[in-house]
Amino acid sequence: MAGLEELGLLGLFIGTFLAATVIPFSSDAVYLAVLAATGDPAGCLAAGTLGNWLGSVLTYFIGWLGKWEWIEKWFRVKPETLQKQKAKIDRFGVWLALICWVPVIGDVVAIALGFYRTRPFWTIVLLLVGKFGRFLVWNLVYGLI
């Protein structure tokens, strides 16, 4: 995703959006590059959070469209396995949205939250909280450097 930092906050928005979908690259790298290039922590926090959050919301709703039959057929996952996974999602529920910022597994969690139909409103709110917290920490670390 080279060149996104040259687009400034728009590039940050695009990069963090795409990184929160199934496209594998680091939104942290884009965030830090744009933060260093612009020196605008508030703008980066807003653009990065918004892009990453909306990407996760899209990923969540992609999961929502999934059907058990498809997973069983195309990925040959047994219904018992899906039941076990659903029990784990049901145990923690929407609170799992807070860890969707974690690289690699965050996208999988967002898809699973949609697939197992967690409450959309609270899932989306907690996705926002997690994404904001992630980039706020980067701003704090960057301010200390």
pLDDT (tens digit, 9 = 90+) per residue, 3-58? 888 889 999 999 999 999 978 888 999 999 999 999 999 999 999 999 999 999 99
What pLDDT, on a 0 to 100 scale, did the predictor assign at position 145? 60
Structure token digits, residue 21: 């979908």
Q: Taking the domains of the chain in order of start, what are their residue ranges?
A: 4-144
Q: pTM of this prediction? A: 0.89
